[in-house]
Amino acid sequence: MSAPRTDGPLLIEEQEDRVLIRLNRPEVRNAIDQSMVDALHEACALLEREPRVALLVGSGGTFAAGADIAQLRERRLTDALAGINSGIFDRIHRLPMPTIALLDGYALGGGAELAYACDFRIGTPTVKIGNPEPGLGILAAAGGAWRLRELVGEPLAKEVLLAGRILTGEEAQEVRLLNELAAPEDLEAAGHRLADRIARQAPLAVRLSKAAFHAPREAHPLIDNVAQAVLFETQEKQDRMTAFLNRRKEKE
């Protein structure tokens, strides 16, 4: 395990099978500014070089209250076309291994879109999740306008995106936007328990399963067959199946 970094817009703690990424701008409720986007790109580069489960959590009792409004107010046409936030959230979505967002306090606007880009979401009962962008004269352009529909369905997504509905933790779990509810003091432990479950699987099998899951429909079944062919040749497949058969034999 590496020592955690102690400054900057992100605090990163590396372990052998996972990386904890803590959003570290508590004085502005972890608003996502350019410095945080740059740091998230660095974190993604680390996870692309050394694929591991990533846990994203806020500091100061808040996940992220949105993008930095002061910076957003100054952005113009070319900034929007550059896809500053959508680019980093898409990169997070495409990371090789699963990502887990741990949500407390506010997960609004860009904070919600960051959570939508992750593979799993665990939240507290008092978390507030939503996309109030139209109230500021803009739209949820960093993935919210389409990822949320994929996650919860069109009717509820339209309430959130067009009518400003904010979801509580209980409401978000009811529609499976959250995989689990946890008390604030247990939130990180709940994330690590999920990471433990993932870590018990064969890492390459998890990685290729995620890639196949997100592949376009026209890529199937070819991508499944190719991925399975790769896994069939691994020593880990041999070892795990042999261990399974030996355990079964011992029970007979």
Phi-psi group of 31: left, alpha or beta (phi > 0 → left; psi -120 to 50 → alpha; rest → beta):
beta
Element (H, E) at 40: helix 34-49
Q: Exactly one of 50, 113, 174, 218 is catalytic; which is it? A: 113
Contact 156, 163 (CB under 8 A): no
Assigned superfamily of 10-200:
2-enoyl-CoA Hydratase; Chain A, domain 1 (3.90.226.10)
CA atoms within 13 A on the CB side of 55: 26
Q: Exactly one of 16, 133, 171, 188 is catalytic; which is it? A: 133
Q: What is the pLDDT of residue 128?
A: 98
Average pLDDT for residues 240-249, to the nearest whole number? 96
250 is catalytic: no
Could you report the per-residue pLDDT of 127-183, keeping only the tens digit for each? 999 999 999 999 999 999 999 999 999 999 999 999 999 999 999 999 999 999 999
Band (pLDDT 50/70/90 cuts) for residue 1 is: very low
Instruction: Measure the CA angle with vertex 201, ends 198 and 204; round to 5°.
Output: 105
Band (pLDDT 50/70/90 cuts) for residue 7 is: confident
Band (pLDDT 50/70/90 cuts) for residue 126 is: very high
Q: What is the pLDDT of residue 251?
A: 87
**3-state class (DSSP) for residue 43:** helix
Average pLDDT for residues 102-117, to the nearest whole number? 98
133 is catalytic: yes
Q: What is the pLDDT of residue 3?
A: 52
- Give the Cα separation of 31 and 141 in Å (integer): 16
Q: How far from chain centre, in Å, is Cα 204?
A: 19
Q: What is the pLDDT of residue 6?
A: 56
Of the candidates 63, 136, 128, the one whose C-alpha atom is nearest the C-alpha of residue 102 is: 63
Element (H, E) at 248: helix 235-251
Contact 111, 30 (CB under 8 A): yes
Of the candidates 183, 69, 204, the one whose C-alpha atom is nearest the C-alpha of residue 126 is: 183
Q: Domain ranges in the chain? A: 10-200, 203-250
Q: What global pTM score does this model have?
A: 0.94
